[in-house]
Amino acid sequence: MKQDIHTRAPAQSLERLMNQGQLWRNTGAQCKQELSTGFNALDACLPYGGWPTDAISEVISPQPGLGDMALVLPALARLTQQEGVVACIAPPWLLHSPFLAAQGVNLARLLCIPEPAGVRDKRQWQKRHWAAEQIVKSGSCNGLLYWQAKPLPFIAYRRLQMLCGQFGCPAFMFHQSAPLNSPSSVRLQVLARKPTSLNIKILKMRGAWAQHQLALPVDEGHYYRYELA
């Protein structure tokens, strides 16, 4: 029996929307375990009780150092206490080892892959992304911190998300503007940085309604000390 054209067309449209990241299918799957964010209020809002440990979490900040690293520092410290490495790909600043060590980060387990200075290659993002995928596929990556000045193509997001799920690797991606669509499980936006608090908005969290705004307690000394690379 031939499938009715009116039935087939909507199905094809739905499939196209899912492939473009504009539609999410609820499979009922939950993250295997959680990684505490270090902020009780944020843990309480996230459906996993913390960062997902097998998916991408996005942090949107209009400029590096506004508070993006303050959000992930507690998790970074925990991840570097485990066997394996945590990779930092193309950070926009030079890592300040004394500050990171003071926050509990085990520097011996931190792998930094800086952006080549003075390189104007349109394919540079592809090289960064290839490095990110290879590190996750190694099976020894406890976490990935990944900076991109511009949002990646959806297919690149999707491939990395699948690898994170396959190898159980939490990934944090930092952008200055939100991608139009991505398969990430969590997306947070830094709204304002104050001496004793960090104001954020939860734009997306898979498995629950988003749009929460929170003021997270952060000591002024916890903001990342950085130098632009």
The residue range of the domain holding 214 is 31-228
Question: Considering the domain boundaries, does residue 8 fall inside one?
Answer: no
Question: Considering the domain boundaries, does residue 16 fall inside one?
Answer: no
Identify the pLDDT of residue 30: 46
- Mean local confidence (pLDDT), 117-139: 84
What integer best gives the mean pLDDT of the chain?
81
Higher pLDDT among residues 63 and 210, named by residue:
63
Contact assessment for residue 196 and residue 217, using Cβ atoms and an 8 Å cutoff: yes
Which are the contacts of 185, defined by CB distance < 8 A and separation ≥ 6?
A: 31, 52, 55, 56, 57, 205, 206
Three-state DSSP class for 205? strand
* Residue for token pair 């954020």: 200
Identify the pLDDT of residue 43: 94
Identify the pLDDT of residue 5: 47
Question: Considering the domain boundaries, does residue 20 fall inside one?
Answer: no
pLDDT digits (tens, 9 = 90+) for 7-21: 444 545 545 544 444
Positions of E strands within the chain: 34-35, 51-52, 56-60, 85-89, 93-94, 110-113, 141-147, 171-175, 186-194, 197-205, 212-217, 227-228
Question: Considering the domain boundaries, does residue 70 fall inside one?
Answer: yes
The model's confidence at residue 101, banded by pLDDT at 50, 70 and 90, is very high
Question: Considering the domain boundaries, does residue 23 fall inside one?
Answer: no
pLDDT digits (tens, 9 = 90+) for 180-224: 677 888 999 999 888 788 999 999 887 666 668 999 998 765 555
Mind giving me the DSSP string for 108-119? GGEEEEPPPTT-
Question: Considering the domain boundaries, does residue 117 fall inside one?
Answer: yes
Question: Considering the domain boundaries, does residue 22 fall inside one?
Answer: no
Identify the pLDDT of residue 124: 81
pLDDT digits (tens, 9 = 90+) for 23-43: 444 434 444 457 999 999 999
CATH of the domain at 90: 3.40.50.300
How many structural domains is the chain composed of? 1
Residue 81 has pLDDT above 60, yes or no: yes
Question: Considering the domain boundaries, does residue 21 fall inside one?
Answer: no
Higher pLDDT among residues 92 and 209, named by residue:
92
Which are the contacts of 87, defined by CB distance < 8 A and separation ≥ 6?
A: 111, 112, 113, 132, 135, 141, 143, 144, 145
pTM over 0.85: no
